[in-house]
Amino acid sequence: LRHLTTLEHLPRISIERLLDRAEALRDACAHGTRKLDVLAGRTVLNLFFEPSTRTRTSFELAARRLGADVINFDLSFSSTSKGEELYDTLHTLEAMHLDAIIVRHKEAGTPDALVRHAMSGVSVVNAGDGNRAHPTQGLLDVLTIRQHRPDFENLVVVICGDIKHSRVARSDIHALTVLGVKEIRLCGPAGLMPAADEFPHCRYYNDFDAAIEGADVSIMLRLQKERMASVDLPDEAAYFNHYGLDTRRLARAAKGCLVMHPGPLNRGIEIASEVADGAQSRILEQVGNGVFVRMAVLCEVLAR
Ligand code: CP
């Protein structure tokens, strides 16, 4: 694997190899290893054109733990603010002999465009592009599920919220499908659902009470207001009433249902605090797993 821009078309064996590698790194860290030198002498650039807390920080931590040098590109102090075009920025940075670029951009397809335009042997890893893909989030989500429920073939997973604008949902659906989950249910208001033919193998719901019935995993998504026109913004109180996860709704799910959310959370809109902070919440485990998944991905793309 030279680049990671999407999980689409990635075979099961490649996904499982990345998950196994992330687990091995997690075990090594649990046994006291704080730093490895497998990427010593390599340089990783964080190139984020959209805000991030979890992804950017965990990529930086992952690269440093592997011994790489890290540059965090500061957009507000860069020459992009003077009108420099994306590919001129790319070629300028490449001239400094980078090994990997971690990119987040509001335009879907930007990571693949960087792969096509790159002139050096730089690896490109997608940290989220528009509503298309967030592959490392998809990997860390299935790693978190596998930790608790490795029996994917028995699992009913519900993904609820603004699926239409969610790159996380798309990468989760690809990973869960390849790993063979029994059933994927997609739920949200009609205006925030993907086209009916985008995921013909998933079951579509507008009623969250029905969608969560007997589910083993519930992945909650925030409203992606930054990708909506103002007329499409739902009333938040009404939204929580219909699509928020609270203890009453969680009781309809299977016993021990894993509660997940990629973050950032909007408490009281898509999830109640009592559930986000409750015994079934795996949200902070997801964050922790993000570091090991990103270490695994960097090892994989830079293994040359
Ligand atoms: N889940 C996720 O992508 O979070 P950040 O936007 O904080 O990176």
* Domains located in the chain, CATH noted: 12-133+289-301 (3.40.50.1370), 135-286 (3.40.50.1370)
Q: What is the pLDDT of residue 304?
A: 67
User: Could you report the predicted ipTM of this complex, rounded to two decimals?
Assistant: 0.98
Q: What is the pLDDT of residue 76?
A: 78
Q: What is the pLDDT of residue 203?
A: 98
Q: pLDDT by residue for the chain (304 residues), tens digit each? A: 999 999 999 999 999 999 999 999 999 988 888 788 999 999 999 999 999 999 999 999 999 999 999 999 888 778 887 778 889 999 999 999 999 999 999 999 999 999 999 998 899 999 999 999 999 999 999 999 999 999 999 999 999 999 999 999 999 999 999 999 999 999 999 999 999 999 999 999 999 999 999 999 999 999 988 888 776 778 999 999 999 999 999 999 999 999 999 999 999 999 999 999 999 999 999 999 999 999 999 999 998 6
C-alpha 34/C-alpha 95 separation (Å) is: 31
Q: What is the pLDDT of residue 79?
A: 80
256 lines ligand 1 (CB under 6 A): no
Question: By alpha-carbon position, which residue is closest to atom 7 of ligand 1?
Answer: 53
In sequence order, the 6+-apart residues with CB closer than 8 A to the CB of 90 are 101, 114, 117, 118
135 lines ligand 1 (CB under 6 A): no
Ligand 1 atom nearest to 263, measured from its CA:
1
Q: In angstroms, what is the span from residue 166 Cα to ligand 1's centroid? A: 12
Ligand 1 atom nearest to 53, measured from its CA:
7
Q: What is the pLDDT of residue 220?
A: 98
Q: What is the pLDDT of residue 42?
A: 96
